Structure 1
Amino acid sequence: MPSIILVRHGPVAVKASGLFSFREFCAYIDAYERAGIEADALPPEEVARLVGGAATVLASDAPRVSETLARLGVTADVSESAFREAPPLTPNLPLKLPAIAWMILARARGEFSPALAGARDDLRSRAGQCAERLLEASAQGDVALVGHGWFNRYVARTLAGRGWRQTAGPGFDRPWGYLIFSP
């Protein structure tokens, strides 16, 4: 039976500390999007084994994912923007907050704001299309998607909705996090 493995990239080389204004947070996100992973970051053996054993590897084309693949010693069969992270829909507030607080506000806004229903629908549609590609590729054996935490959550929901069940993995809260799905 094939498995679908969803993997989050390694630890990003850009760090956030202190308080950020809206504009400072947006600049941080721009830097994060351009960054690779930490120079000394090595993948857990389990993640390297899972991705290395996949018959097909799909990946985001973000720099942090490209470097993650290199550390895993794997070349993606497909690397493209369709698998990129959903951009944070950060509210423009006159506050100074830690980066994690801005991210929570952005994700909550993206999930619940009626004004952003179109963006939410687009994200769900893209995750559905990516899940379909993973399901098609699973006909050849295990398939891995190396990408991003938030987007992988949407893909995971789609797989669960198609009858695939999560069988292992710690989730995407930390770099190198993963989930494994089976039919």
Structure 2
Amino acid sequence: MIIQIHYKERNAAVHLCKSLTLLFRAAGERPLVFVCIGTIKAIGDALGPMIGTLLQDSELKNTHIYGTIKEPVHALNLQDTMQEIHEKYNHPFIVAVDASLGHLHHIGYIQLLEGPLFPGNSMKKSLPQVGDIHIKGIVNTIGPYNYMMLQNANEKSVRNMAKTIATALFNASALTEKKPQKAADHVV
């Protein structure tokens, strides 16, 4: 794990941004692609599409965003989306973003990890791995009925976590561009 931070922690987006900036710079000239996984059918699972929408609305340059509220990336289209990305971009640096379930004391934490994300694990789905690095937002606890846990996540917390992650991704992207954009205090 590269960093784990609670979204309510002071300067959480700044700390996450610093780690992301180092990773984006190390990726060099590779096209930067964000794959924000999830669906709006369950509020907890909407974390990825919320982040994708915030980033899309911020009009980042030289960054490619897949997975928004209007066009989500989910279990049914993930494989096709990944195939499209690999056909369209030469050796992309992929950042996967998804909601996760965890232990009670981990709710609200954002984790940045090296290596691919294995989406659908909590739902017992076998989906393709995604990403060179990945970000997980822990939205609720693991339980006997994980889909219900995603449905019963706290909407305000999920939205605030999405804003924190989107702000960090936006700023790290802006700071690593050839002609950097002005960093933002938040992306909304």
Structure with greater proportional helix content: 1
TM-score range, shorter chain: 0.3 to 0.5
TM-score normalised per structure 2: 0.31
**Which of these two proteins has the greater Rg computed from alpha carbons?**
1
Does 1 or 2 have the higher relative contact order (CA < 8 Å, sep 6+)?
Answer: 1
